[in-house]
Structure 1
Amino acid sequence: MRHTLSLILISLLSLAPATRAQDDNTLVEITPEARAAIERGLAFLAKTQNDDGNFGGERYGKHVGITSLACLAFMADGHMPDRGPHGQTLSKGLAFVINSSSDAGLLAAANTSHGPMYGHGFATLFLGEVYGMTPNRDTRRTLQKAVRLIVASQNHQGGWRYQPVPADADISVTICQIMALRSARNAGLSVPKNTIDRAVEYVRNCQNPDDGGFRYMIGSGGSAFPRSAAGLASLYYAGIYEGDEVASALAYLERQRPGTPQASRGGYYYYGHYYAAQAMFLAGGEHWKQWYPAIREELLARQQPDGSWNGNHGTTYSTAMSLIILQMPNRLLPIFER
């Protein structure tokens, strides 16, 4: 009986925010078609989990970042470790991430050779979301170590790069760490203000003044949709919601809204829209009201018959990203709150 009541409560939590949005904004965000697509996608993800809890993916083998994104997709539907129909799936994923922590705090599977800070950022974000909702000693200890490593590896410009050393930096890896630090702070952990201030300065220095988009690195390259979405999201997660840099970045992204002739369809599609949806969600108002239905319909059209989404970085990665985007109206992940 207790288990049945728990499942009913989780179901109500998943449905209530979308219903409230409909009442307040006369906007049906998660349509019946989207709900069915989400259920198929989650079922596909659950079947891809390996015995040790990782969701690796076709290209990367065992990978804490992809595992964490998959787990966040389940959490966005109201599931938690040991709670809900996918509770065991989440518990196994959490155990894999915790067991992948080194003495120095780096979250990376044993065979990860390229860009471990990407995975570390996503994994730290996942731990922050889990700990904020279900406090646990092992999760907290692993999260604390992970945050300390992020702080220690920030470079002199204020950003981060592929390796956990304070060398060079790029905006893509930097946003992963900013989101991780925001999640940890939301969960009650201490994050140095100076670390955030320097990260914000790095992101600002990556913005192109001519079009509002963002470069990949300071002083190098032009604007592109994926990194510009990440750049705007990072400003929001650092607590900057207004200003010329925000307005110009929003205008840059709006010019490439899904369904328009200028819509972004190039490389890093799921990565770019993962951050763009977050940016528009945090911008709120008409930005979100126009953006979400457009990306929702585009993602529904891209879903495969088996419930997955295909992309350059593998079906597990693309499916997790798509599910997180589609479920943002649930408003269940603390990271998506202002």
Structure 2
Amino acid sequence: MTNVTNMLLHRRSTLHPPVVRLAIFLSVLTVSFCGIDQSAWAQLPGQRYGEVVPRDVREMYERGLIFLAKSQGNEGEWQNTSHQGPGVTGMAIMAFLASGEDPNFGQYAGNIRSGLQAIIRGQDADTGYYGNSMYHHGFATLAVAEAYGTVDDRDWSGDKMRSLGKSLELAVRSSLTAQKNSEFNAWRYSPTSTDADTSVSGAILVSLLAARNAGIEVPDKNIDQAIGYFTSMTSDGGQVGYSGGMGGMGDSLARSSIACLVYAVARRKDLPKFKATVAHLTSNLEQQARSWPEYTRYYQAQALFQGDVEAWEKWNVGLVRQLKPMQQTDGSFKGQLGPIADTSLSLLAMALNFRFLPIYER
């Protein structure tokens, strides 16, 4: 591995301001295009840019972003009709970032930056908790982790506006503290919960893995414990239970997708339970979620992409066909979670076509 590639792997280090980290990234991109050490890249440049993104996806995505931009509050937050909180704002931010929009100078840079500032302003300075519920904390943490290293926050310093790196460190600490309270070494709705469920735990664990990929210290012990919880909740057939022990076992595409994703991002693809979830998902590509379809498709997209790219490609064609007539005239998507969350999750389900978010890399 070349020195410049090593620099890429550490481009989010706090030793480098965002502008320098971006310059490092561009220099490595140039080297890769020249054919040097391309084996270090998880996916080819041609897979990320150009006409490989279907026209329908590009058009639907842009309409969705226009809706989100127009719907943003004056303080940078996104108010949802239900399930309101920093997690919803985080979802919207990720939707912008996922299409490759320049977060510093692009058309939607102001939306991205003010959204991040809204999340940080609402963070508890002592505990690092983003608030409302651990669901919201997980999605808000994920958004900050994905923005860290790409958003220039050097002019944000102040008593009420900590940097992205500092905010992310506090958020990670909050998640790890909450994990200690659980007898299952996982998470549920409150940071003081003693039980756990695989849905909330998935949101937190993915955010921790994203933070670790961004250069924030997350002990292996905590990741191992959380993965242990997921393996205990996954059957040999790839079905995943909901809460506590194996209680609530049943066929849930969302839960199987969440488990598959955390195994993959945690680099545990050697686990039999990972292979079981992949097999379960790929054998049910035509199955539709019985409830919370937007939430399910968000995780299905990532799980299939990580587990079986050919299966994802087939499923993705159906996804685009399914979502196209569902998009409203104003660019939004209407579902069970409220227009901001439904639109953001629908866009993010398609965002694997762009593959810009670090968490979307294989």
Q: One fold, TM greater than 0.5? A: yes
Q: Which residue of 2 aligns with 1:57?
A: 80
- Do structure 1's residue 90 and structure 2's residue 122 form an aligned pair? no
Whole-angstrom distance in 2 between the partners of 1:164 and 1:294: 38
Which amino acid in 1 is paired with 2:83?
A: Y
Which residue, 37, 40, 54 being the options, matches 1:31?
Answer: 54
Q: Which residue of 1 aligns with 2:255?
A: 227
Which residue, 170, 173, 181 being the options, matches 1:148?
Answer: 173
* Matched residue SS, 1:153: helix
Q: Which runs of 4+ in 1 moved over 6 A?
A: 16-19
Whole-angstrom distance in 2 between the partners of 1:89 and 1:59: 21
**Conserved 8 A contact 1:18-1:330:** no
Q: Which residue of 2 aligns with 1:203?
A: 230
The Cα offsets for residues 141-196 of structure 1, whole Å up to 9 and x where unpaired, read as 11111000111111231210000125100000101111111111111110011000
Q: Which residue of 2 aligns with 1:307?
A: 331
- The sequence identity of aligned pairs, in percent, is 32
Q: Which residue of 1 aligns with 2:143?
A: 126
In the TM superposition, 1:266-277 aligns within 5 A as 266-277=290-301
Whole-angstrom distance in 1 between the partners of 2:194 and 2:202: 16
Q: Count residues with an aligned counterpart.
A: 311
TM-score, with length taken from structure 1: 0.86
- Do structure 1's residue 254 and structure 2's residue 245 form an aligned pair? no
Whole-angstrom distance in 1 between the partners of 2:54 and 2:100: 17
TM-score, with length taken from structure 2: 0.81
Q: 1:22 to 1:190 in 2, by over 3 A?
A: closer
* Matched residue SS, 1:133: coil
Whole-angstrom distance in 2 between the partners of 1:194 and 1:45: 38
Which amino acid in 2 is paired with 1:236?
A: A
- Do structure 1's residue 72 and structure 2's residue 94 form an aligned pair? yes
Q: Which residue of 2 aligns with 1:286?
A: 310
Whole-angstrom distance in 2 between the partners of 1:45 and 1:83: 18
Q: Which runs of 5+ in 2 are unaligned?
A: 1-25, 34-42, 154-161
Q: Which runs of 5+ in 1 are unaligned?
A: 1-9
The Cα offsets for residues 204-244 of structure 1, whole Å up to 9 and x where unpaired, read as 111123x3110102221122111111111111122112332
* Matched residue SS, 1:167: coil
Which amino acid in 1 is paired with 2:53?
A: I
CA-atom RMSD in angstroms: 2.4
Whole-angstrom distance in 2 between the partners of 1:256 and 1:35: 27
Q: Which moved more, 1:311-320 or 1:231-240?
A: 231-240
**Conserved 8 A contact 2:187-2:204:** yes
